Structure 1
């Protein structure tokens, strides 16, 4: 997406990817901005189940089975203990590439 539509889409929706213990992943697009999602995130993670109503079905996710959550756009406003600002991801390929 390019131009003002891409900016609008990014500001008015949040993409959330769940990585499960069994190595499966699922990605959802939520009709809220990242700040609204951030406001709910801590409470959501305390719930045993999270429910997503889609057009054609309802999906319930057991938070106990989730290993990692990725959120786009980033929630840079999150601060406090256990939150590391200005972090960078270094994959195995990037680490090994620098040694040769």
Structure 2
């Protein structure tokens, strides 16, 4: 790594958004796009209403059929999204946490 490259990586990370698509068939694909999450959040809901999304990569172009998606993950988080059907301050519960909760005695 050349001198000063860590700063460039940090800056690049701040100016990119990682999007993971989960398809109905069980496959996943992740793309990094050169847009800060703050800008991406302004368009994300409109983008998901489009029938197709297009990603131009260095060696190919990929079309995503939004009708075949069951989940989309975006990193970093975009908590600025507000409105109906959007739940702030949510937490993911792992399988181990669910299993442990089922084994703990309940106080009545």
Q: TM-score, normalised by structure 2?
A: 0.83
| CA apart distance, 1:27 | 0.1
Q: In 1, distance between residues paired with 2:66 and 2:26?
A: 14
Does residue 44 in structure 1 map to residue 47 in structure 2?
Answer: yes
Residue 75 of structure 1 corresponds to 78
Q: In 1, distance between residues paired with 2:48 and 2:95?
A: 29
Residue 11 of structure 2 corresponds to 8
CA contact (8 A) 1:52 1:60 kept: yes
Query: Larger Cα Rg: Structure 1 or Structure 2?
Result: 2
**Count of aligned pairs between the two proteins:** 98
Residue 31 of structure 1 corresponds to 34
CA contact (8 A) 1:52 1:59 kept: yes
CA contact (8 A) 1:10 1:73 kept: no
Instruction: Give the ranges of 4+ consecutive aligned residues of structure 1 lying more than 2 Å apart after TM superposition.
Output: 3-7, 97-100
Does residue 57 in structure 1 map to residue 57 in structure 2?
Answer: no
Residue 20 of structure 1 corresponds to 23
Check 1:6–1:94 CA distance in 2 against 1; reply closer, same or farther (3 A cut). farther
Instruction: Name structure 1 gaps, 5 residues minimum.
Output: none
Q: In 2, distance between residues paired with 1:95 and 1:5?
A: 40
Q: TM-score, normalised by structure 1?
A: 0.90
What's the RMSD between the two structures over aligned residues? 1.4
CA contact (8 A) 1:13 1:34 kept: yes
CA shift digits 1:29-62 (9 cap, x unpaired): 0000001111111111111000000000000000
